[in-house]
Amino acid sequence: MKLLYFADLHGDYPRCEYSLELIKKHKPDIVVNGGDLLSINGEPFIEQPKFIKWFGKQLEASGINIPYLFIPGNDDLKAHLPLLNEIENKKLIINISGKKTRIGDYEFIGYSYIPDFSYMLKDWRKLDDKNNNKLRQEVQPVISAPGGYKPIDNLEEFMRNQPTIKQDLDRLPAPSDYSKTVYVMHCPPAGTDLDLATDGTHAGSRAIHKFIDNKQPLLTLHGHIHESPLITGKHCIRINNTVSMHSGQQAFLLFDLEAIEDSLEVIPYNV
């Protein structure tokens, strides 16, 4: 079963068009878009809805008739989820965030949240685990709501009132067979070749790394730390029996689920 994976399109119209061209050219059985479809720059309450509507029209016009799995990433405002639902209602995408979907012999489970850091938008941010250090915040934290941002008065309380990423992962729908399960998680596992940031820190999730270590699914697909594959030269690593991948923004990953590493084709894209 052939799969095309990419993430972090970030409202880039040409790159999104290119992804559709690749689907037509390579005819995968499944497409997986690992989140951050939209750009946080500019006016997200104008630009993001505009992009979502355009994206829906492109999908419709393309006539692509295969499962297009999607999860929101940390920059995809929750306020715009109803617009994404409209595309999903037309059966153009399947949002698997927090859900399980079976396609053929495989099950796909999505997870959008990333560990908190000092950025403004907290829609998709949670504490990684109970060992999270004191929160650092340099700008007014907000969540998105219809029509605009809403300030968070007490970030500490906001974060502590939500389950941690570790707790969330324990509560995700359980697969029937981990060795036939693909997790699509926007955030990469911490301390690996998939989560290295420009400043030399590993910015992934400890909880996600532990989860992969413990459960050993067939495959995990990540994005988020765009530069990591450029710094480490790695799109694909192994965590024991699990293959974990990160497309970065400079590549699309095409492979067969029956022989992931042997069949992997890295299709470059110049950002």
Binding site for Zn ion (CB under 5 A): 36, 73-74, 224
Measure Cα distances from 105 to 70, 101, 181, 198 in Å: 19, 11, 9, 38
Residue 74 in contact with residue 186, Cβ under 8 Å? yes
Minimum CB separation of residue 186 from Zn ion in Å reads: 6
- For β-strands 265-268 and 251-256, DSSP reports them as antiparallel
Helix (H) or strand (E) holding 65: none
Distance CA 149, CA 168 (A): 25
Q: Which CB sits closer to Zn ion, 121 or 257?
A: 121
Minimum CB separation of residue 150 from Zn ion in Å reads: 21
Minimum CB separation of residue 105 from Zn ion in Å reads: 30
Q: Which CB sits closer to Zn ion, 36 or 128?
A: 36
Q: Which CB sits closer to Zn ion, 107 or 126?
A: 126
Instruction: Give the number of other CB atoms < 10 A from CB of residue 208.
Output: 29
Minimum CB separation of residue 86 from Zn ion in Å reads: 23
Q: Which CB sits closer to Zn ion, 39 or 58?
A: 39
Q: Which CB sits closer to Zn ion, 159 or 185?
A: 185
At 38, which amino acid appears? L
Q: Which CB sits closer to Zn ion, 73 or 229?
A: 73
Nearest residue relative to Zn ion (C-beta): 224
Helix (H) or strand (E) holding 106: strand 106-111
How many residues does this entry show for the chain?
271
Residue labelled with tokens 């022989």? 259
Best CA proximity match to 114, nearest among 173, 72, 160, 68:
72
Minimum CB separation of residue 65 from Zn ion in Å reads: 29
Q: Which residues contact 12 (CB under 8 A, 6 or more apart)?
A: 39, 271
Minimum CB separation of residue 61 from Zn ion in Å reads: 27
